[in-house]
A and B are shown apart, each in its own frame.
Chain A
Amino acid sequence: MTPNPPWHAGPELLADYVDGTANRTRTASAEAHLLSCEECRAAVAPLADLGRLERNLAVITDRVDLERTGPVERFLYRLGVPHHVARVVSVGSTERVSWLTDIAVAILVALVFDSFDGSEASVFAFLVAAPILPLAGVTSSISFRSDPLGELVTAAPTTAMKVFLLRALTVLAPTLVVVAAASVLVPRLGVQPSLWLLPSFCLTSTALALGTVFPLRAVTWMLGSGWVVAASIATRGAPRTDLVGSFAAFQPAGQLVLLLVSLVAAIFVARRRDSFDFLDLGRTA
């Protein structure tokens, strides 16, 4: 008895398989056979449309890559944020999410305490402390030591300042949402939960502006401590029910001044932006 000659897929089946016109059974049969038959693989290779295969592979690879991205990046991408922007924003997002959580918790605690004793002490403490967080966060995020990739980011064509502003925006937007939510949830507070925003802008932009000339860390400490000391002096002897009203920075005129100072500082930073292009900030070329 002689053994059966080996079976091969045949040119018709292979052509249908490549064209995609073979039915499921014939396709499965061809695929199973191709896995084990070198001769048929050699026969099918010239029939394949390499361009189509490469396009298919690119689509599949792209989908797999997208699935591997983190939740923040995927969320931003679904919101319509371009993928490359979402990537920059999402790197290091853990720290920024925790910072936002801190703000939300601080507002909540202040509201709960004040609802018990009817004073403004907790809200006032929150309004004074809140601008310090972005001041410290912003100045440390732009300094070389705080970012492990500081040197690589500085050497990249996308300026470190652009990366920093992009990330700052992503913190600012949800912060405003949290503040707005607090105002809605406790109507008696009115705009109070948002009064720290302008001091925050002012302190941060002034620190960045001065940081192009003087050591940034020293400037940050000076401004942060100066802000707290000013708040303490302004409210010395003031009734606990009118602490916010006793500090000019939280009054309309004071807020206007802070806005103007912020704008001047922002213009100064923009004009001196080359300073942020080097590791030794403040040493313009």
Chain B
Amino acid sequence: MTTTTATVDLRQVIKTYGSTRALQGVSLQLGTGVTGLLGPNGAGKTTLLRIVATVLAADSGEVRVLGEDPTESEGRLSIRRRLGYFPQEPGYYASLSAFDFVDYLAVLKEMTDRRVRHDEVRRVLSEVGLADVAHKRIKALSGGMKRRVIVAQALLGDPDLLVLDEPAAGLDPEQRLRFRETVSAIAERHTVLLSTHMTEDVAALCQHVVVMNGGQVLSEGTPDALVETARGRVWVSDKPDPAAQVSWRTGSGQHRLIGDPPSGSELAEPAMEDAYLLLVGKAANAEPVSPSPSRWRRQ
């Protein structure tokens, strides 16, 4: 039993892989709407989402998803019945058609009545714009279409919680736009937890944003509040400044700098990317430090 009303409630969650601590006492309470999870590679986003999606167990701490305890088999089953999941590295049976692939996962989601199930498969494929290619083999689909197949299976059964781990990775700008439209439509009826590297996705889609790095939550709040943390700390200059925490040369030839501006600097209107970089600093460009799946025991 739990008294929490949050869709996802994590308290002091720790997860380690060998000697690497992927999550270091993460506490989060997430409600309805779209929550964006931002962070560099190795921040712990995927581990966090896997725990929420019940495919990994936390080493310690308290986890409640949709009011259920995933450490109990009954609670886990209840969560899985109400969950849609898009893993970071979704696999495919490439020789199956998109329809058969989604239908197979619909069976695993306990949809046993064939006609009802097939209607549901057609519905979700239509929702992601794949109705016309439903019977094409997955190997014949473009990369963007393949990812939409995975989005489609996540929508099966109209789940209460959608966990999407970098679903827009590898999509071209047009596909990203379509993807945002799809997620926006989904979010009208679902709670969505969306992991991404891309601040523009968060700005466009999310009502709530969580920034992670090094297995810890650095910040959480509304996108506007996150942007405000960078107000007065972004400036432009003709030359780089070693005092800046992060800086880069823009297309106009000027340098955009983030940190503590020297007096007399020309302050710029902050964007979400500025606030994000201010929080995670150079780690945003660092090499991944999280353990690869090859280090898991189940291999």
Chain A: residues with CB nearer than 8 A to chain B? Answer: 58, 61-62, 65, 68-69, 82-84, 87-88, 91-92, 94, 143-145, 147-158, 163, 215-217, 274, 277-285
Contacts and interface: CB of A to CB of B under 8 A. Distances in A.
Contacts of B298: 143-144, 215-216, 278-282
B299 interface: yes
Contacts of A282: 297-298
Nearest to B69: A285
B173 interface: no
Given A58-B115, A157-B81, A283 B109 contact: no
Contact of A151 (B83, B87, B114, B135): B87
Contact of B85 (A87, A143, A155, A285): A155
B5 to A, nearest CB: 23
A163 B105 CA distance: 11
Given A84-B114, A84-B117, A157-B110, A274 B90 contact: no
Contacts of B153: 152
B103 interface: yes
B295 to A, nearest CB: 10
B299 A216 contact: yes
Contacts of A156: 80, 105, 108-109
B53 A155 contact: yes
A62 B118 contact: yes
| Most chain A beta-carbon contacts within 10 A, residue among B90, B97, B296 | B296
Main secondary structure of the interface of A (DSSP, over half): loop
Nearest to A216: B298
Given A156-B108, A158-B108, A283 B57 contact: yes
A155 B81 CA distance: 9
Given A148-B93, A277-B73, A217 B107 contact: no
Contacts of B109: 156-158
A94 B212 CA distance: 43
Contacts of B299: 143-145, 215-217
B69 to A, nearest CB: 9
B53 A84 contact: no
| Most chain B beta-carbon contacts within 10 A, residue among A69, A82, A94, A155 | A155
Contacts of B83: 155
A208 to B, nearest CB: 12
B191 to A, nearest CB: 16
Contacts of B110: 157-158
B114 A279 contact: no
Interface of B: 50, 53-57, 70-73, 76-77, 80-81, 83, 85, 87, 89-93, 95-97, 99-100, 103-105, 107-112, 114-115, 117-118, 135, 153, 293, 296-299
A100 B103 CA distance: 26
Contact of B54 (A155, A281, A283): A155
Contacts of B105: 149, 152, 156
A132 B280 CA distance: 50
Given A155-B53, A157-B110, 15 more contacts: A83-B114, A87-B100, A88-B107, A145-B293, A148-B91, A152-B85, A152-B91, A155-B55, A155-B83, A156-B105, A158-B109, A278-B55, A279-B298, A282-B297, A283-B56
14 contacts: A87-B104, A88-B107, A88-B108, A91-B96, A143-B298, A149-B91, A152-B108, A155-B87, A157-B77, A163-B108, A217-B299, A279-B50, A281-B297, A285-B70
B104 A88 contact: yes
Contacts of B107: 84, 87-88, 158
A87 B72 CA distance: 29
A149 B73 contact: no
Contacts of A285: 57, 70-72, 76
A68 B91 contact: no
A169 B46 CA distance: 34
A68 B108 contact: no
A284 B73 CA distance: 11
A158 B107 CA distance: 8
A279 B103 contact: no
A92 to B, nearest CB: 7
B156 to A, nearest CB: 10
A144 B50 CA distance: 14
Contacts of B108: 88, 152-153, 156-158, 163
Contacts of B296: 144, 279-280
A83 B87 CA distance: 27
Nearest to A273: B73
Contact of A68 (B76, B77, B104, B135): B135
B293 to A, nearest CB: 7
Contacts of B293: 144-145
